[in-house]
Amino acid sequence: MNNKLLCDCTFCNLAPTGHPKNVSGDSINSTSIEIDWAEPALSTQNGIIVSYYIILTDLQSQKTKEYSRLGSHFDIVIGSLHPYYRYQFAIAAETAVGKGPLTSPAIIRTNEDGINVT
């Protein structure tokens, strides 16, 4: 008897094997940035994406903060940052089973104090 367990990923969840695509970030003002992305390739989602995990590191102090966004949202505005600081960020998709791989880190700098981008 063949005891192989067959799993159609349409019906079972696994952690994603791909990362979000088209990741970009822009400074909104001296204390806020906006990060946006597209979902991972369908073949690498391995189930329903329930959330996105964003990790943001202040490159001056090396302090890291983590954020989460529902799976139906593809952007986040992060405020209360320092003026004219460099931040590194990366994003991972998450199913009910776990997180997938992080994107390659990207770097963004907040604007100088008093400069807003509209």
Query: Cα separation of 44 and 27, whole Å?
Result: 30
Amino acid symbol at 1: M
Q: How much is the pLDDT for 115?
A: 56
113: pLDDT confidence band, cut at 50, 70 and 90? Answer: confident
39-62: pLDDT as tens digits: 999 999 999 999 999 999 999 999
The mean per-residue pLDDT over the stretch 66-95 comes to 97
5-21: pLDDT as tens digits: 445 445 467 999 999 99
**How many Å separate Cα 91 from the centre of its chain?**
2
List the chain domain ranges. Answer: 21-109
Q: Supply the CATH classification number for the domain 21-109.
A: 2.60.40.10
Q: How much is the pLDDT for 117?
A: 57
Q: How much is the pLDDT for 116?
A: 58
